[in-house]
């Protein structure tokens, strides 16, 4: 399925405005999908990811999470120092408001449309936060730094008991930013809370392995993660559709 793209502006509950990139499927969407960016902005890669999901039938929206400090922010993968101050300015209250704005936008176009979330790097943490914030069908987190304790974000470990949806986690076994202890902490918290989850570790992959614009791209891990992601989304979005229609 081909996709149609556009930029939209969302009103956030804190009085700010947030631009978002939208990719629509050619036909009736099977579900909505919130696509959360890496630290480098809603760049060409994130827009391409949104379009890929639209090609699978999802109404995909990628909100600009740095809209309060740097609207339209987009930097090279080699320029993390430019992204760092934008990340440091984020708050969980602000992110929750952004999540709700994106979720509400999807629902305003098709009320009751089962909606999931996916995110990469800091967006992986945001996707997990979305599962705590709005009634998602499911969430997918790729190498989400800051879910477990980290120097960058307040961790979510103590909040995972409040997850409203199943979560799939992807990690790189060679990720120098998120080590085995962090991965275990997330898995143990989900298990202790009795929350449904899937935990996937690619032993030879590094941080950012899914992004083909990064030096850490791992083609084998990315190729295997893609169908797993689609299957997880389809399973839970379809189940949510059936439940809504019951």
Buried residues in 100-127 as b, exposed as e (16+ CB within 10 A)? bbbbebbeeeeeebbbbbbbbbbbbbbb
Q: Which residue has the tokens 């999470």?
A: 65
Q: Interior CA angle at 98 toward 196 and 8, to 5°?
A: 115
Contacts of 180 (CB under 8 A, 6+ apart): none
Catalytic residue among 92, 98, 138, 207: 207
Expressed in angstroms, the distance from the first to the final Cα of the chain is 28
Active-site residue, selected from the candidate residues 175, 206, 211, 236: 175
Distance, in Å, from the CA atom of 92 to the CA atom of 100, rounded to the nearest integer, reads 12
Sign of CA pseudo-dihedral 87, 91, 97, 100: positive
Active site residue 79: no
Over the Cα atoms of the chain, what is R_g?
16
Task: Enter the tokens of residue 153.
Answer: 């974000």
- Here the tokens at position 116 are 């999931």
Cα Dmax for the chain? 50
Residue 207 a catalytic site member = yes
Residue pointed to by tokens 């120098």: 176
Query: And the tokens for 141?
Result: 């987190």
Which entry of 67, 98, 121, 211 is annotated as an active-site residue? 121
In the residue annotation, 14 being an active-site residue is answered as no
The catalytic residue positions are 121, 175, 207
């Amino acid at each position: 399925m081909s996709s149609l793209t556009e930029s939209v502006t969302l009103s956030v509950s804190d009085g700010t405005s947030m631009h978002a990139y939208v990719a629509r499927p050619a036909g009736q969407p099977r579900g909505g999908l919130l696509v959360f960016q890496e630290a480098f902005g809603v760049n060409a890669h994130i827009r391409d990811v949104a379009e890929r999901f639209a090609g699978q039938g999802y109404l995909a929206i990628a909100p600009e999470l740095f809209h309060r400090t740097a609207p339209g922010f987009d930097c090279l993968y080699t320029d993390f120092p430019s992204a760092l101050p934008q990340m440091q300015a984020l708050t969980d209250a602000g992110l929750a408001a952004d999540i709700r704005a994106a979720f509400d936008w999807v629902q305003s176009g098709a009320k009751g449309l089962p909606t999931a979330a996916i995110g990469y790097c800091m967006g992986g943490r945001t996707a997990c936060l979305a599962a705590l914030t709005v009634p998602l069908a499911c969430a997918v987190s790729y190498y989400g730094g800051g879910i477990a304790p980290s120097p960058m974000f307040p961790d979510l470990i103590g909040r995972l008991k409040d997850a409203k949806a199943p979560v799939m986690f992807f990690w790189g076994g060679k990720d120098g930013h998120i080590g085995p202890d962090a991965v275990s902490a997330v898995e143990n918290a989900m298990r202790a809370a009795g929350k449904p989850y899937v935990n996937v570790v690619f032993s030879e992959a590094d941080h950012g392995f899914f992004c083909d614009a990064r030096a850490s791209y791992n083609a084998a891990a990315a190729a295997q993660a893609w169908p797993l992601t689609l299957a997880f989304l389809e399973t839970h979005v379809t189940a949510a559709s059936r439940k809504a229609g019951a």
